[in-house]
């Protein structure tokens, strides 16, 4: 749900898309730019007002038979918000990205360490294998 083009008003998926959007807002993965208060539509209502109102109407009617109608209406305003560029990745998304990048770096360092350990073990194995072959040859000589 990262671009306006991902919003296609498919009634069977409208509820799922609105729920996903609302969850991302609650999780701070999405943030609404304050410019949403400056973009006005009919009746002097701002984009922020219309988005908030349609999301509230949807949430108040999510358990009714008209939930898909309210979800479709909310999706139209969500799409307008994305098109206006007022929905941004939130601080939680940025924090998660940084955490993942840190974890990736830790895994890369661990991988380098494991490769070095593996090479060390392979070297020790070859030395032990050589020593074993040496001792085995001596044992065969002694047994003869």
- pLDDT tens-digit map of 110-124: 999 999 999 999 999
pLDDT over 70 percentage in the chain = 91
Domain of residue 126, residue span: 100-144
**139 assigned to some structural domain:** yes
Domain count, the chain: 2
3-class DSSP string for the chain: CCCHHHCCCCHHHHHHHHHHHHHHHHCCCEEECHHHHCCECHHHCEHHHHHHHHHHHHHHCCCCCCHHHHHHHHHHHHHHHHHCCCEEECHHHHHHHHHHHHHHHHHHHHHHHHHHHHHHHHHHHHHHHHHHHHHHHHHHHHHC
Tell me if the pTM is above 0.75: no
Query: Does 139 lie in the same domain as 74?
Result: no
Does 95 reside within a domain? no
- Tell me: the pLDDT tens digits for 45-61? 888 899 999 999 999 99
* In a shared domain, residues 111 and 135: yes
Q: Are residues 55 and 119 in the same domain?
A: no
């Amino acid at each position: 749900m990262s671009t306006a083009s991902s919003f296609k008003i498919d009634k069977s998926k409208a509820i799922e898309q609105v729920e996903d959007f609302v969850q991302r807002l609650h999780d701070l993965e999405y943030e609404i730019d304050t410019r949403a208060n400056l973009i006005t539509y009919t009746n002097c209502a701002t984009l922020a007002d219309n988005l908030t109102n349609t999301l509230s109407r949807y949430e108040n009617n999510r358990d009714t038979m008209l939930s898909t109608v309210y979800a479709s209406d909310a999706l139209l305003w969500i799409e307008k918000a994305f098109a206006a560029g007022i929905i941004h990745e939130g601080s939680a998304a940025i924090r998660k990205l940084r955490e993942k990048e840190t974890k990736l770096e830790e895994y890369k360092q661990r991988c380098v360490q494991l490769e070095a350990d593996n090479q060390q073990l392979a070297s020790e194995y070859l030395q032990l294998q050589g020593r074993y072959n040496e001792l085995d040859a001596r044992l065969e000589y002694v047994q003869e």
